């Protein structure tokens, strides 16, 4: 990719604009997938951190009665 091969920001910007123009013709849309992550927690759950990818580390989670 020519835009990555230069250190001149103006040249790189122009090369990326050319690429965008080509992609607008060849691929006017890009399909993306977004999934919903359902997570439930309460006041008795401590140290739970939600992971954006859905891979939750539960080793440090404490649940009090």
pLDDT for residue 3: 64
Which tokens go with 21? 């123009």
Pick 60 or 41 by higher pLDDT. 60
**Average pLDDT, stretch 28-55?**
82
Q: Tell me: pLDDT of 1 over 70.
A: no
59/55 Cα distance (integer angstroms):
12
Q: Is the pTM of this model over 0.85?
A: no
**Average pLDDT, stretch 35-57?**
85
14/6 Cα distance (integer angstroms):
11
Helix (H) or strand (E) segment spanning residue 12: helix 9-26
pLDDT digits (tens, 9 = 90+) for 15-40: 899 989 998 898 878 777 777 777 88
pLDDT for residue 33: 77
């Amino acid at each position: 990719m020519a835009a990555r091969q230069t250190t001149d920001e103006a040249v790189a910007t122009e090369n990326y604009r050319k690429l965008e123009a080509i992609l607008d013709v060849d691929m006017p849309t890009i399909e993306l997938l977004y999934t919903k992550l359902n997570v439930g927690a309460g006041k008795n759950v401590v140290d739970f951190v939600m992971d954006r990818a859905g891979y939750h580390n539960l080793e440090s989670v404490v649940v009090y009665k």
